[in-house]
Structures are given as C-alpha cells and as structure tokens.
Amino acid sequence: MPSATAKVAIVTGAGSGIGRAVSLALLRTGWSVALAGRRAEPLAETAALAGEAAARALPHPTNVADPASVSALFEATRVRFGRLDLLFNNAGTGAPPVPLEELSVEHWRRVVDINLTGAFLCTQAAFRLMKDQDPRGGRIVNNGSISAHVPRPRSVAYTATKHAITGLTRSTSLDGRAHDIACGQIDIGNAGTEMTRAMSQGVMQADGSVAAEPVMDVAAVADAVLYMAGLPLEANVQFMTVMATKMPFIGRG
C-alpha cells in the first residue's frame, strides 16, 4: 500500500500510443498507475518499460464499454492502492474512413460504445470512488482530440463522439464541484504514435486532396497531462489544445 501522500491514477488505453506515454510519465514521476486496456500483453509491455517503477503499475485488461469490466477495474485499483486521484479517459477507436452514407450501424455503435459510453462509465465509477475516499475528490482528464472542434473528412462517428466528450467534460466539471472532483479536457493533434504514422505519408484533406502532415513528439502530450494532473484541486485546466505547430488545424478546410 502506498503512503498517504502517494498519488494514484487510472489510464485507459494504456497499452499503446498516448495512453502508454502518459502512463510511463506518471510512473516515472512517482505515481501509482492502473493500466487499463483491452489486451493483457500490451499492458504488460507498458509496465515493463517503466523499469523499477513497474512495481507501482497495475496492468488490468478492461473493456471500457462493459459496465462490469469497468467496475472490476476500479475495484482492483481501490484494493491495490486504496484511492484514486486521477482518471485519464483516453481509450478510443475510429471507424473505417468511408463516405458517411456507407458507414455501418455496427461500426457507428462500436465507436460510440468505446469513445463515449466508455468514458462515461469510467467517469461514473471514478465519482463513486473519489467522493467517498479520504481525503475526498480527485481529477478527471478527458482526451477530446482536436476532432472535438473540427472534423476530418469521413470521420463522422469519431468526430461525433469527440464533440460529445466536450459535453461530458462540462457536465462532469459542474457535477463534480460538490465532491471536490475537477475535470478538464486535453485536445490533441498529430501526436507521434502508431496511429499517426500515416500522417507522414499523406492523409485526406478537407478539399479531397492528400497531403503529408507534421507530427509532434508524444512526450509533449505526456508533459501536458502531467501539468494538468499536478494542479491542486482548487485549480483546473478546463480545456487545453496541444498539437503539432504546423499541422493544418487553424484554418482547416
């Protein structure tokens, strides 16, 4: 059991990309972290990359779209670490980049289930734990994406869920006040991960052309989340955008 001053986090989507980078940054700065993701092997790899800090990691395979699986994650975190100070709602997926009228309902529902319902279920579980712990309260950071502001072509499901995450963030901030729970959103653009590898080869632009886009080191995202997480609960970053400086976002379209 960590000391009373130790900080505890849950990171969803911790097996790769942004989730892995943020998990490692938290572990390396003294946090204990429950690593949540669909598959056990990538979570174990994330823990191993933390070196000696892996002793403070709890890999826990989780389907964020399943209420029972989410409940098991939060209960395992409570049993292992005793409390929860930070939830980073990061798990997400996209749908095939097809014309809007060709997107299947099955693909739509899968994106909504993971990106939106999953974030809601984890937020709900975090509230239950944070409001009853001593000292009470904590922080929730939602990964909104710059798609919470403007879409890419052929991304209706992903974009709709990321716009909805902004509503979840605002409602969580309001409802959390009574329980000392702060909530903010980080909107990320073109962080260098496996998912953005295609950016350097060229991706569809708003005018239908294909162009390569700049990316940034994912470490910049981890640093930003660490800053948000490190604030005292009486202060909050409500919204932050961190993006590759030269990506076509400002003026997109």
Question: Which residues are the active-site residues?
Answer: 158
Q: How far apart are CA 153 and CA 45, in angstroms?
A: 34
Q: Which of 142, 8, 195, 176 is nearest to 86 (CA)?
A: 8
Q: How far apart are CA 237 and CA 228, in angstroms?
A: 6
Q: How far apart are CA 98 and CA 146, in angstroms?
A: 20
Q: Which of 161, 26, 139, 150 is nearest to 91 (CA)?
A: 161
Q: How many CA atoms lie within 13 A of 209 on its CB side?
A: 7
